[in-house]
Structure 1
Amino acid sequence: MPLFAILRCFIKRLKGKFLKNWKPYLAGVLVVLIWSGWITISRYGVHTRLTPADITLLRYCTAFSVVLPFAVRYPWRKFTLYQYLVVGLGVGFPYTMVSFYGLIEIRAAHAGVLVNGMLPVFGAIAALLYFKQRVSAVCYGAIALIFAANIVMIGGNFFSSEHLLGIVLLLCAAVIYTFHMVGVRLWGFTWKDVFVVVPVVNVALFLPLWFFFPSTGFKVPVPEMVLQATYQGLVVNIVALSCVAYAIRHLGTITVSLFMSFVPVITAIFAWLLLGENLTGQEITGIVGCTGGLLIYSRG
């Protein structure tokens, strides 16, 4: 079945559900679009004179400068220190640092597959272990299809010894991010909590550590720093993470992780539409597989 026919069927099937609960789904779509851009911009950033530590510091200091007025009035006794650390660091500097170092070794599109393509698998495991959330065999089949489709997109030659370090780092990023999603749902963090908590926790913990990591002292062109600070600190850390928390609270970890698994698909389509890069047969197969998997999951 052609890709656009599958999309029409998918939209028709979910139209009623979307209309009743459109805000969380819109949040999920925004996250996919923003995260697709984040992988590309991060891949570009780590190949400038900015180091992973520099980009991480720019990200959280920029976000912190925005949330500081809210942090002063935030009810910090609302959660425990352990809960703040899990939610804050799960999408904080441990996640960004392993992602950035992985992106030095791995292309952006392939990185999206390793991190986001694995989230449905880790999300399903976490939902079963922490929330006793069981889904039907059809839904598990859909998750497996999406995972397989993402693997097809990068091809079998990718899994070689020269990519081993990057693969391990990006898989670690997926595991770390899963802890964030579980914590948000398990302890009832709202998007307003995440909005404040993530920048505060990471500035407090990473700023002293930054002096021990390789750095160029931000001796780079100002436009490069502005690009990373704006997208990493505002678009991703403020807008996207707030949307993630909102979507998890209303849709659950499995559904949100399925949304995230479409990041490599959207990245490939953006490259085709905006950069004129031709889609290979493997990439088209992966796009159809991911779309079909989400359609099957909606019916399960």
Structure 2
Amino acid sequence: MAETDKSRGLSDRAVRRLAVLSGLVVVLIWSGWIVLSRLGVHTQLTPADITLLRFATAAVCTLPWSLRYNWRRLPLGRALVVALGCGFPYTLFSFYGMKASPAANVGVLVNGTLPIISGLLAVWLLRQRLRWWAWIAVAMIVAANALMVVPDLMRQQVPWTAIALLFGAAWVMSVYMTAVKYWQVTLKEILAWVPLINAVLCVPLWWWLPHNLSNALWTDIGLQMAYQGVVVSVLALFLLGFTIRELGSISSALFMAFVPTVTALLAIPLLGELPTAVQWLAIIGCSFGLLLYGYSQRPKPPAPWTEQQVLSMPVKEF
């Protein structure tokens, strides 16, 4: 998409602004996804039902891309890593985890840890170096996450299995975000691989896991199909892929990490979940850590030319 935009006359700065805007939209979509999913898992729909509805609907919506894709040249290993990275392992971990966790906890554990995991993966796979204040930011985010989770664990308000599932979801999504940048996966490949591969693999998994789709209300089914299958799996997938390609996995994870704050605000009127004073402190601390982390990812300005470099420049012949 970047090449298409530039061919139409958009400058690098304009493309970057579009990527930033798409990242902000993804934040709103993902925050709404957490709230809506938490509502969904407390209806007659099971996590397996919502997962099946999500990818079956997305597969139908992206069928034009799937039909145009040359499946004979499919890089199977890469396609599976990308498809499953933001596919049913991520959704099932998230859905089962959020059944026993408040929306604010879900936002912090899943999205608040994305910059940390993505940063570590980028250092390892992409050979990127984190500046020293980035590690301070990571420490602040870790402390904020602990402040959010530890009190609930000590009071046994949230089971440790739910925390582990949500943390696993963060790992899975971080692998996806890093893989997209590492392999330079195109937006067309994302739209062709992710919905269809997950829809095919979800059917036997849905049959094996607890399901109750036939007894659910049509209003609940329609709401989950529209938001999960269209808004999240198509629109957000497209925007997130564009953001990752233009800004990189670390900067993209930074956008996603602001989801905890937006989620906590949305959960107050929609779910009636008001964070405690300690949780608000954790959210504020996480936000400051994320701002510092984002600043640390800014490209370094080019070093000024030395006198020796200027004198050694070749002289043009006219």
Identify the TM-score tier after normalising by the shorter chain.
0.7 to 0.9
Question: 1:47 is matched by which residue type in structure 2?
Answer: H
Shift of the 166–18 alpha-carbon distance from structure 1 to 2, 3 Å rule, reads farther
Could you report, residue by residue, the CA deviation over 1:2-39 in whole angstroms, capped at 9, with x for unpaired residues? xxxxxxxxxxxxxxx98672111112111111111111
Map residues 187-202 of structure 1 onto 2, 5 A cutoff. 187-202=183-198
Match of 1:297 among 293, 296, 303: 293
The answer to whether the 8 A contact 1:265-1:286 is kept is no
Deviation at residue 64 of structure 1 after TM alignment: 0.7
Could you report, residue by residue, the CA deviation over 1:150-205 in whole angstroms, capped at 9, with x for unpaired residues? 443x2532124651110111111111111111211111112232122110110121
For 2:37, the equivalent position in structure 1 comes to 42
The answer to whether the 8 A contact 1:113-1:264 is kept is yes
For 1:21, the equivalent position in structure 2 comes to 16
Match of 1:109 among 104, 108, 117: 104
Match of 2:81 among 65, 86, 109: 86
Deviation at residue 277 of structure 1 after TM alignment: 6.2
Secondary structure of 1:159's partner? Answer: helix
Secondary structure of 1:50's partner? Answer: coil
The answer to whether the 8 A contact 1:155-1:282 is kept is no
Shift of the 150–18 alpha-carbon distance from structure 1 to 2, 3 Å rule, reads farther
Counterpart Cα distance in 1 of 2:55 and 2:228: 8
Could you report, residue by residue, the CA deviation over 1:238-272 in whole angstroms, capped at 9, with x for unpaired residues? 11111111111111111111221111111112245
Question: 2:87 is matched by which residue type in structure 1?
Answer: G
Match of 2:62 among 67, 87, 99: 67
Please identify the structure whose Cα radius of gyration is greater.
2
The answer to whether the 8 A contact 1:117-1:146 is kept is yes
Deviation at residue 108 of structure 1 after TM alignment: 1.6
Counterpart Cα distance in 1 of 2:250 and 2:212: 40
Note the residue ranges of structure 2 that are not aligned, 5 or more in a row. Answer: 1-11, 297-318
For 2:199, the equivalent position in structure 1 comes to 203
Moved more, 122-131 or 195-204: 195-204
For 1:184, the equivalent position in structure 2 comes to 180
Deviation at residue 146 of structure 1 after TM alignment: 2.9
Shift of the 155–74 alpha-carbon distance from structure 1 to 2, 3 Å rule, reads closer
Deviation at residue 232 of structure 1 after TM alignment: 0.5
Question: 2:201 is matched by which residue type in structure 1?
Answer: L
Counterpart Cα distance in 1 of 2:287 and 2:117: 19
> Root-mean-square deviation (CA), in Å?
2.2
For 1:56, the equivalent position in structure 2 comes to 51
1:244 partnered with 2:240: yes
For 1:158, the equivalent position in structure 2 comes to 152
When you count helix as a share of all residues, which structure comes out higher? 1
Question: 2:204 is matched by which residue type in structure 1?
Answer: P
Counterpart Cα distance in 2 of 1:275 and 1:24: 31
Question: 1:107 is matched by which residue type in structure 2?
Answer: P
Note the residue ranges of structure 1 that are not aligned, 5 or more in a row. Answer: 1-16
Secondary structure of 1:214's partner? Answer: coil
For 2:221, the equivalent position in structure 1 comes to 225
Report the count of equivalent residues: 283
Deviation at residue 149 of structure 1 after TM alignment: 2.8
Counterpart Cα distance in 2 of 1:291 and 1:179: 23
Deviation at residue 285 of structure 1 after TM alignment: 2.4
Could you report, residue by residue, the CA deviation over 1:100-122 in whole angstroms, capped at 9, with x for unpaired residues? 11111212211111111111111
Shift of the 298–257 alpha-carbon distance from structure 1 to 2, 3 Å rule, reads closer
Counterpart Cα distance in 1 of 2:274 and 2:152: 19
For 1:119, the equivalent position in structure 2 comes to 114
The answer to whether the 8 A contact 1:18-1:25 is kept is no
Secondary structure of 1:189's partner? Answer: coil
**TM-score (norm. length: structure 1):** 0.87
Counterpart Cα distance in 1 of 2:144 and 2:89: 28
Shift of the 135–204 alpha-carbon distance from structure 1 to 2, 3 Å rule, reads same
Secondary structure of 1:21's partner? Answer: helix
**TM-score (norm. length: structure 2):** 0.82
Percent sequence identity over aligned pairs: 43
Counterpart Cα distance in 2 of 1:264 and 1:249: 23
Counterpart Cα distance in 1 of 2:257 and 2:280: 15
Could you report, residue by residue, the CA deviation over 1:194-249 in whole angstroms, capped at 9, with x for unpaired residues? 12211011012111222111111332111100111111101110111111111111
The answer to whether the 8 A contact 2:57-2:225 is kept is yes
1:235 partnered with 2:231: yes
Could you report, residue by residue, the CA deviation over 1:54-98 in whole angstroms, capped at 9, with x for unpaired residues? 101100010111111221111335651000000001111111111
